[in-house]
Structure 1
């Protein structure tokens, strides 16, 4: 079975931004941002597009498929 894996945490880590900045930008709790970074929950479509632009990546780069074994 395939599973969607979040790359958001890694992309934020290598960017000039941090989770606190994302928390304030999207008016979310620290727990919500952590969940985005780990793939436990997902940003809304407008937030995905904005996040991709902020991190200078394509929306497709925020997630990847992985095989769940």
Structure 2
């Protein structure tokens, strides 16, 4: 499973969502969804975003190694 680090990099670079939206030709609402992990950029936007943030595409996501899938027993 992947976790978005888009919000981290946008904030780290000191960029405002409206600036990012304008540079990528998307709405501010779309950038907000990306930052909250509610949506993911399409591939072409992902590459442009990485370029804008001066990071590798791989830096925009991190792998989550463990997902707890055990069921809890009711007592």
- With normalisation by structure 2, the TM-score equals 0.77
Higher relative contact order (CA 8 A, sep 6+): 1
Normalized per residue, the structure richer in strand is 1
Gaps of 5+ in 1: none
How many residue pairs get aligned? The number is 67
Normalized per residue, the structure richer in helix is 1
Gaps of 5+ in 2: 69-75
Q: How large is the Cα RMSD of the aligned pairs?
A: 1.4
Select the structure of larger CA radius of gyration: 2
**Secondary structure of 2:38's partner?**
coil
Instruction: After the TM superposition, list the runs of 4 or more consecutive aligned residues in structure 1 that deviate by more than 6 angstroms.
Output: none
Contact 2:7/2:36 (CA < 8 Å) preserved in 1? yes
- With normalisation by structure 1, the TM-score equals 0.82
Q: Pick from 26, 29, 42 the counterpart of residue 28 of structure 1.
A: 26
Per-residue CA deviation, residues 8-40 of structure 1 (Å, 9 max, x unaligned), is 001000104211101222232222111111221
